A and B are shown apart, each in its own frame.
Chain A
Amino acid sequence: MRASKTLVLLLALTASACGGGNATEESGAYPLKDVTMIVPFGAGGGSDVLSRTIANVIRELKILPVSLLVENRPGSSGAIGYTYVAKQKGNPYTLATVSVSFFTTPLLGASEFNFRNFTPVAAIAMSPYIMAVREASPYKTFDDVKKVRRLTTGTVGVVSDPVLLARMLQNASGITIDTVPFDGEGEVMTAALGGHIDFMLGNPGEILPQIEAGTLRPLAVSTAGRLLSLPAVPSFKELGYPIEHVQLRGVVMPPDMPQEALTFWESALRRVAESPEWKREYLDRFRDEPRFLGSVEFGKVLESTNTLYTEIMSELGLIKR
């Protein structure tokens, strides 16, 4: 009896201590404790490297009075990690980066939380797609491609940005483009270099080293204008096709985010995106292009990207209506 009374007392004390803690948290300046960046994929992948580089730059710039911890919660094509973030309603101490699975996994019905269940914060880099053929290919410029009836290209997985772009190109040009799904970027590159597929669509990080080595030849880029790194290569728009699609490297937070925390992270990520450290450690290394979008603009891009994926996946019969 006595023991249980002590226990009740202890519980009451703990409760009041916690309550007190909350009170100071509300009145004090954000952030008061360590912030966690969730990576819904395994270590070593693109999302993981992006998150860790953001954390590094934030540390070097001394933007946060607390630590930014990177935590991997992989599994089920990102569903486990993204679900965890979506359920942290209003928790200003959780962040995550956006990836293709962020859109496609909920569209496939493998996760109940889609992009509307997150608060867009900012985009801090942009990765365009380069259409490239192998050195021995008969296609020297995009004009050579226009004359053919049919082409093949590769993709990692069934739904990806290359699939999206190939569909857009097929619809715009009238060339039949068949996409062969592979299991990894390395296999797509092997197929392109070995001439087993006609062309590939890839990010600068994988394509530029091959172009510099003379093993791949660029034909077009997926941005509105030309790329700084490939000034001689036209964009699809220049060639007369209404195709523009890039991958934005962006950050989201859980839903119902307090304005204070959102503003904090928006300006923090702006500082990251504009810093020389970010240029050196991310943009130069992965050959991405500089780009910053704030919460509102990034939110619009999320919406339009989701529409694109929905269309393409309905066309492929992957979304049951």
Chain B
Amino acid sequence: MEPLILLGEGIVRATTPELLLATLIGVLVGLVVGVLPGIGPAAGTAIMLPVAVGFGGAAAIAGLAGIYYGAMFGGAVTSILLGIPGDAPSVMTVIDGHAMAKRGEAGRALGMSVYASFIGGVIGIVLLALLSVPVAQAALAFGPTEMTALMCFALSLVTVLGGRNIIKGFTALFLGMWVGMIGLDPIAGPTRYTFGFVALFEGIEFTVIAVGLYGLSEIFVSLGQETTGKLERYSFRSLLPNLRDLVECKAVLVWSSLVSFFVGVVPGVGSTASTMLAYATAKKYSKNPDEFGRGSIKGVAAPEAANNSASYAAMIPLFALGIPGSGTTAVLLGGLLMVGLQPGPLLFATNPDFVWTVFGSFWIGNMMLVVLTTLLIPVLAGIVFISTAFLYPIVIGLVLLGVYSIHYAMSDVTIALIAGAIGFVMLKLDYSPVPLVLGLVLGPLLERGVRRTLIVSEGNLSIFWESPIALGFFLLTLGVILIPIAMKRVAAFRALPPSL
């Protein structure tokens, strides 16, 4: 229990006016960064780095980290209201969140995203305090081989997300994996599928695809719909969150927070992959998996709890080992150096006050975010009252500006528009865009894992079952695929009429 006492002391130290202000600024910027499509937490922290360093010491890192987890709260807003993911970790929130909003339950979905973010955050912070050191050591056991096995397991789970038609699901999955291969080959070096365009050398930014595929396609579809002239009516009740949902989703919330925390610790996996796993497991083990994708409240709870929990998990390698596991934590590492601290395995030992104060600020920041976002829900949900004739042009402008601002490149805008067109065709042909983004995120991780492993083993495949962790994940993968098939067979056998 000692870490919890230290966390408590850290919370107390984090209540100085200076730290409170830095945390508040951080979470506010994070909310904005999360809401704006295109700019994600990595870019947000990078932009604010020079400003935050001016705060000095723990305040600088409290502010920067605030942007990171603040973005996890903010990302849900546009995902739910407009169907446009504000940043990569909120892509999975679009599926059910936007379906709910279209049904007139925007406030309820937003409310759940706030509760889920908060609960994911609290669980994440407590686990961060309790388990930083042992979990960090365990994360080191994840080399390329173990990563390959983890990704196989993840992909086996996501087969449940492929929609009703398996062939269409796999087609979209492979399309996503192919798009993930565009650019410089990460292992051997030459370019793949760039067709000579220099703009494609570095590959396609995930956010650009996600924004186009989900957001723009939706707007394109609406262009083809005839307006009825009838005004849509939403009750004001729909603007308010519903506390009863919290009780209904409690198991999903806790489970998603735990899963994504342990997955999020592994350097290189990231919070986006964690949300996918959380959503997939929530659906797989739900009593009515069919409600997922059609506006299930649990479909909002799972990814939102997951991305918050994972954002704290991602900080473990940074604080306990001095290793940046993601783009955002790499910026935080730069921040630590710039305020004069030496990140590394000794940070906990040499600067315990600093570390626990920063962790304390996470707790306070999480509280601030709940209050801020709860107050904002009715205002934000009011967007549904705006006529699409006014709303969509503004949204298209904002989205394209956001996409442009990632690299200041018109080529990204073009790619987003093409992705929008592809998304439009997919919607018309009843292909789910979900497997495509899964392939785009998990495909490159799997490919890199396999190729790195084979370099290490000089092409010897036995390395895959010599690692106990990898073997464990491969067996789980087989279980996930085979058990439902076996159960169907058994069920079919029992259903046979006795006369046969």
Mark A residues whose CB is within 8 Å of B: 42-45, 48-49, 52, 73-77, 79-80, 108, 110, 150, 152, 157-159, 178-187, 189-191, 193-197, 205-206, 209-210, 212-213, 215, 285-286, 316-318
Additional A-B contacts beyond A158-B186, A186-B323, A205-B337 (16; CB < 8 A): A43-B49, A44-B335, A45-B330, A45-B334, A49-B338, A74-B408, A79-B198, A80-B407, A158-B184, A179-B455, A190-B267, A190-B325, A191-B144, A194-B140, A209-B343, A318-B190
| Nearest CB in chain B: distance from A107 CB, A | 11
- List, in ascending order, chain B residues with CB within 8 A of A210's CB: 322, 344-345
Contact pick for B329, options A152, A186, A195, A316, CB 8 Å:
A186
Contact A110 B334 (CB under 8 A): no
Does B268 count as interface, using CB distance less than 8 angstroms? yes
28 A-B contact pairs sorted by A residue (CB < 8 Å): A45-B330, A45-B334, A48-B46, A73-B408, A76-B199, A76-B201, A77-B201, A108-B201, A110-B201, A152-B455, A159-B189, A181-B187, A181-B452, A183-B186, A184-B330, A186-B324, A189-B321, A190-B267, A190-B323, A193-B140, A194-B142, A194-B143, A196-B143, A196-B144, A196-B145, A210-B322, A213-B345, A285-B337
Contact B324 A76 (CB under 8 A): no
Give complex CA distance A180, B188 in Å. 10
| Nearest CB in chain B: distance from A282 CB, A | 10
Contact A186 B267 (CB under 8 A): yes
Does B472 count as interface, using CB distance less than 8 angstroms? no
Give complex CA distance A183, B270 in Å. 12
| Nearest CB in chain B: distance from A285 CB, A | 6
Interface residues in B139-187 by Cβ distance below 8 A to A read 139-145, 184-187
* CB contact under 8 A between A215 and B186, given known A44-B46, A178-B458, A180-B452: no
| Nearest CB in chain A: distance from B254 CB, A | 28
Of all chain B residues, which has the CB nearest A134? B140
Does B286 count as interface, using CB distance less than 8 angstroms? no
* CB contact under 8 A between A209 and B345, given known A75-B407, A180-B144, A186-B323: yes
Give complex CA distance A77, B409 in Å. 13
Does B47 count as interface, using CB distance less than 8 angstroms? yes
Contact pick for A178, options B49, B327, B407, B456, CB 8 Å:
B456
- List, in ascending order, chain B residues with CB within 8 A of A42's CB: 43, 46
* CB contact under 8 A between A183 and B340, given known A178-B456, A178-B458: no
- List, in ascending order, chain A residues with CB within 8 A of B16's CB: none
- List, in ascending order, chain B residues with CB within 8 A of A183's CB: 186, 268, 448
- List, in ascending order, chain A residues with CB within 8 A of B296's CB: none
Give complex CA distance A193, B323 in Å. 10
- List, in ascending order, chain B residues with CB within 8 A of A195's CB: 143
- List, in ascending order, chain B residues with CB within 8 A of A179's CB: 455
Give complex CA distance A190, B323 in Å. 7
Does B248 count as interface, using CB distance less than 8 angstroms? no
- List, in ascending order, chain B residues with CB within 8 A of A191's CB: 143-144
Contact A158 B185 (CB under 8 A): yes
* CB contact under 8 A between A190 and B190, given known A74-B407, A152-B455, A212-B344: no
Contact B323 A49 (CB under 8 A): no
Does B479 count as interface, using CB distance less than 8 angstroms? no
- List, in ascending order, chain B residues with CB within 8 A of A75's CB: 202, 407-409
Of all chain B residues, which has the CB nearest A154? B452
* CB contact under 8 A between A209 and B322, given known A180-B144, A183-B186, A194-B141: yes
Does B50 count as interface, using CB distance less than 8 angstroms? yes
- List, in ascending order, chain B residues with CB within 8 A of A197's CB: 456
- List, in ascending order, chain A residues with CB within 8 A of B408's CB: 73-75, 80
| Nearest CB in chain A: distance from B152 CB, A | 18
Of all chain A residues, which has the CB nearest B343? A209
Contact A77 B344 (CB under 8 A): no
Does B131 count as interface, using CB distance less than 8 angstroms? no
Give complex CA distance A108, B47 in Å. 29
Contact B448 A286 (CB under 8 A): no
Interface residues in B114-159 by Cβ distance below 8 A to A read 139-145
* CB contact under 8 A between A190 and B448, given known A49-B334, A49-B338: no
Of all chain A residues, which has the CB nearest B346? A213
Of all chain A residues, which has the CB nearest B145? A196
Could you mark each residue 280-300 of chain B with 1 if its beta carbon is under 8 Å from any beta carbon of chain A, else 0? 000000000000000000000
